[in-house]
Structure 1
Amino acid sequence: MKYRQLTKEQFEGLHQEFAHFLATQSIDVKEWNQIKTEKPEIAEEEMNIFSDIVWNDVLTKTKYIEHFSETSANLFKCDENQIHRIAIKINWDINLLEQKGFEWLMKNPMDNSVDIFKGSKSYTKDRNKEIFDLVEKGSTISKGEIYDYFSQLIG
């Protein structure tokens, strides 16, 4: 398995897609229920294959991810061959996880208490795997508005 199995909630949200996936393998509902009962290891493998397909599709389409903590933000732009990062550190008592703190940062990005660093690197392994690792560590997929805002500010 390349990534990780989808959660129960994710499988429920993708119920139609999973049913279609099983149908492409000529497995109907009756047979699927039988496989789950009599051959749970095969059911597990089918779920793993489907999970990898879903993750790979989502990650391939991912262009931006971000991670916020109380005093820092890491904004990433995920190109095909490189990942670009804007790291923001707040050097006073503010909480970016709260609306008030986040709004302060967006209104005062060039304040003396804000350090902003920018860098890029080539992927050291598979692009999607690196993005997946960041997501597993708490980053979320985003539309990139915050990255683009800070990218324009710092050039």
Structure 2
Amino acid sequence: MKYRQLTKEQFESLHREFAQFLASQSIDVNEWNQIKQEKPHVAEEEMNIFSDIVWDDVLKRTEYLEHFSSNSINLFKCEDKKIYRIVIQINNDSINLMESKGYQWLLKNSLDSTVDILQGNKIYQRERNAEIFDLIEKGSNISKGELYEYFKGLITAS
């Protein structure tokens, strides 16, 4: 398995797609139920293959990631060969970026002396999707990139 198996909730939300996946292998509902009962290891393998297909599709389309903690934000732009990163570090214990109030404070005070903004980039050390998946497993969320582009604009303007 390349990534990890989808959760029960993810399988439920992709019920139709999973049924189509099974149908593409000439497995109907009755046969699937029989496989689950009599050959759970085969059912598990089918679920793993489907999970990898879904993850590959999601990851290849992922352009931006965000990871929040109470005093920092890591923003990633995922291109084909390189990943770009902007780190926003708040050096003020009274600001909590995990709360709306703290997040709003940051947007209004991005150039405050207690805000450090760093940037960098690197060529992927492993396959692109594997590195993005690793960031997601460590708590990053896929985003549309508005926050990354906002801070990129601030850095460029400085």
Same fold (TM > 0.5): yes
Q: Does 1:139 align with 2:140?
A: yes
Aligned residue in 1 for 2:113: 112
Please state how far the C-alpha of 1:137 moved relative to its aligned partner: 0.3
Aligned residue in 2 for 1:7: 7
How far apart in 1 are the matches of 2:107 and 2:15? 39
Aligned residue in 2 for 1:43: 43
How far apart in 2 are the matches of 1:145 and 1:22? 37
Task: Look up the equivalent residue of 1:47 and give its one-letter code.
Answer: M
Aligned residue in 2 for 1:102: 103
Aligned residue in 2 for 1:55: 55
TM-score by length of 2: 0.98
The alignment partner of 1:133 has SS state of helix
Q: Deviations over 1:83-106 (max 9, x none)?
A: 000001000021000000000001
Please state how far the C-alpha of 1:33 moved relative to its aligned partner: 0.1
Aligned residue in 1 for 2:123: 122
Q: Deviations over 1:57-111 (max 9, x none)?
A: 0000000001000000000000000000000100002100000000000111010
Please state how far the C-alpha of 1:133 moved relative to its aligned partner: 0.2
Please state how far the C-alpha of 1:16 moved relative to its aligned partner: 0.1
The alignment partner of 1:96 has SS state of coil
Please state how far the C-alpha of 1:122 moved relative to its aligned partner: 0.3
Aligned residue in 2 for 1:154: 155
Task: Look up the equivalent residue of 2:140 and give its one-letter code.
Answer: S
TM-score by length of 1: 1.00
Give the unaligned 5+ runs of structure 1: none
The alignment partner of 1:44 has SS state of helix
